[in-house]
């Protein structure tokens, strides 16, 4: 960026403003973009709300190439993307989103990629964010003074184009991983039938018939000098995986260790969460034992089942709907305790067939592992390319 002019946000955008608090209605011609719509990979219109048309006289309507940036909330503030939706609706923003409308000498996608850089996000939080932990918000006055590089417009376009291509390759790799996840789900239905209708006529039992040990995790807090990795509910993904990117640590004594430890092959069930997320289920596949937190239940199967079968059942469409229905009447944090988990009805299928399914899952997971390593490398290369682009080393 050293050889380019450094301007300020106020000089690059004709309009910089937060949205208003809308009056919502079930449906109208005016769709409201909120922070649940703005993601790095696009504007997700499945999360839009609707503005009362009779109370929209002061609403600013969006135009193609407007840059939208989330302006409140830990974990969401700073996310931005370009508005390019063209359909029969009119679009506006709520008070949690800021609109940046670029002048002609500014490329919107260039701006998006600039804000995507880790370095830019750090500076944004350092210079433009006010408030305490869960109540942070983007200051408009400070945002107006935020620095932004302004290379020639053709260079901005070249940077946007090359990063678009790199981003598309990453999305392609992610799509390949998604297909493998769907392949496992399809194989489950092929081998065992849809649990909703049980077309193969399996005997129906309960999960308790298939397990030998069910334990809760510990409620002790994490410790800065902890020896053991402390696996928490946020480490279990909705799709049935385990994410180890954000880890805490804990100490436990010898008496507690066996009670709370998880080993390779243990089934993990998230018993407390929002009603949409409660019941997240995954198999622990690491070679290094870890300790589980209290919102997780450790399940060990008996000779009638393997964990891959129970996990696939609970992660199936039927399983997800069943878990949601168990909690839909609950307000706030939902809970499915160990007894309720064990009471869930499940087809009792032959262990030989389950083992065939397990072999298929392991083969597919091996393919996924290779793709995940490739994806990790692609993301690192992508970040490096982005930094080089904005340092002026590519164009």
Q: Please indicate, yes or no, if residue 390 is contained in any of the structural domains.
A: no
Cα dist from 127 to 173, 195, 257, 338, whole Å:
35, 53, 45, 47
Q: Does some domain include residue 370?
A: no
Q: Are residues 91 and 22 in the same domain?
A: yes
**Is 374 a domain residue?**
no
Q: What is the pLDDT of residue 55?
A: 85
The region of weakest confidence among 69-73, 318-322, 326-330 is: 326-330
Q: Token pair of 373, please?
A: 């390593």
Given this model, what pLDDT does residue 160 score? 98
Q: In which domain, by residue range, is 229 found? A: 203-348
* Residue 24 located in a structural domain: yes
Please tell me the predicted confidence (pLDDT) of residue 2. 56
**Residue 272: strand pairing partners:** 335
Tens digits of residue pLDDT in 36-50: 999 999 999 998 999
Give yes or no: residues 221 and 296 share one domain: yes
Residues 267 and 135 in one domain: no
**Do 221 and 332 sit in the same domain of this protein?**
yes
Residues 10 and 146 in one domain: yes
- Residue 226: the pLDDT is 94
Does residue 170 lie within any of the structural domains?
no
Our count of domains for the chain comes to: 2
Give the pLDDT score at 275: 86
Shared-domain flag, residues 112 and 236? no
Domain boundary among 333, 348, 363: 348
Does the pLDDT of residue 263 top 60, yes or no? yes
Torsion of CA 318, 319, 320, 326, to 10 degrees: 110
Q: Are residues 220 and 333 in the same domain?
A: yes
Domain boundary among 311, 330, 348: 348
348, 366, 383, 360: which is closest to 186 by C-alpha? 360
State the number of CA atoms in the 13 A half-sphere of 267 facing the CB: 29
Residue 336: alpha-carbon gap to chain centroid: 22
Confidence bin at 75 (pLDDT 50/70/90): confident
CATH number of the domain that 21 lies in? 3.90.220.20
Does 220 lie in the same domain as 96? no
**Which sign, positive or negative, has the C-alpha torsion 67, 71, 74, 78?**
positive
User: Which among 324, 348, 372 is the end of a domain?
Assistant: 348
Predicted confidence at residue 74, as pLDDT, reads 84
- The verdict on 99 and 224 lying in the same domain is no
Residue 172 maps to a domain: no
* Mean pLDDT of all residues in 83-96: 95
Residue 311 included in any domain? yes
Quick one: average pLDDT of 279-283? 97
* pTM for the full predicted model: 0.83
14 and 121 assigned to the same domain: yes
pLDDT of 1 strictly over 60:
no
Q: Which helix (H) or strand (E) holds 91?
A: strand 90-93
Same domain for 13 and 138, yes or no, is: yes
Q: How many CA atoms lie within 13 A of 334 on its CB side?
A: 19
Instruction: State the pLDDT at residue 276.
Output: 87
My answer on whether 134 and 230 are in the same domain is no
Query: What local confidence, expressed as pLDDT, does residue 133 receive?
Result: 64
pLDDT of the residue at 338: 97
Three-class secondary structure of residue 34 per DSSP: coil
**Does residue 87 sit within a domain?**
yes
Sequence-distant (6+) residues with CB within 8 A of 335 are 271, 272, 278, 327
**Percent of the chain with pLDDT strictly greater than 90:** 90
């Amino acid at each position: 960026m050293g050889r380019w002019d450094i301007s300020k946000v106020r000089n690059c955008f004709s309009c910089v403003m937060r949205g208003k608090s809308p009056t919502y209605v079930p449906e109208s011609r005016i769709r409201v973009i909120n922070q649940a719509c703005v993601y790095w990979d696009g504007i997700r219109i499945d999360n839009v709300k609707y503005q009362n048309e009779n109370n929209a006289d002061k609403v600013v309507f969006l135009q193609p190439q407007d840059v939208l940036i989330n302006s409140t909330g830990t974990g969401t503030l700073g996310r931005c993307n370009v508005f390019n939706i063209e359909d029969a609706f009119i679009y506006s923003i709520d008070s949690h989103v800021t609109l940046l409308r670029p002048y002609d000498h500014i490329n919107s996608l260039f701006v998006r990629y600039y804000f995507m850089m880790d370095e830019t996000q750090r500076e944004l939080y350092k210079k433009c964010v006010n408030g305490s932990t869960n109540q942070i918000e983007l200051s408009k006055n400070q945002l107006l003074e935020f620095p932004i590089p302004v290379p020639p417009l053709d260079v901005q376009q070249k940077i946007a184009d090359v990063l678009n291509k790199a981003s598309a390759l990453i999305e392609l790799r992610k799509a390949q991983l998604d297909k493998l996840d769907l392949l496992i789900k399809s194989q489950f239905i092929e081998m065992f039938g849809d649990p909703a209708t049980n077309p193969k006529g399996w005997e129906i039992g309960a999960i308790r018939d298939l397990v030998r040990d069910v334990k809760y995790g510990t409620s002790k807090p994490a410790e800065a000098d902890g020896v053991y990795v402390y696996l928490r509910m946020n480490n279990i993904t909705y799709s049935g995986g385990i994410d180890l990117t954000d880890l805490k640590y804990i100490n436990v004594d010898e008496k507690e260790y066996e009670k709370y430890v998880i080993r390779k092959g243990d089934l993990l069930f998230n018993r407390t969460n929002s009603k949409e997320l409660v019941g997240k289920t995954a198999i622990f596949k690491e070679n290094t034992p870890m300790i589980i937190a209290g919102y997780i239940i450790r399940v060990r199967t008996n000779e009638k089942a393997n964990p891959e079968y129970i996990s696939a059942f609970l992660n199936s469409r039927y399983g997800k709907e069943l878990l949601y229905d168990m909690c839909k009447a609950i307000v706030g944090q939902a809970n499915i305790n160990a007894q309720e988990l064990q009471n869930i009805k499940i087809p009792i299928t032959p262990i030989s067939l389950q083992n065939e399914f397990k072999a298929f899952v392991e083969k597919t997971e091996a393919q996924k592992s290779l793709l995940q390593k490739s994806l990790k490398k692609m993301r690192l290369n992508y970040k490096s390319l982005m930094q080089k682009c904005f340092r002026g080393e590519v164009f």
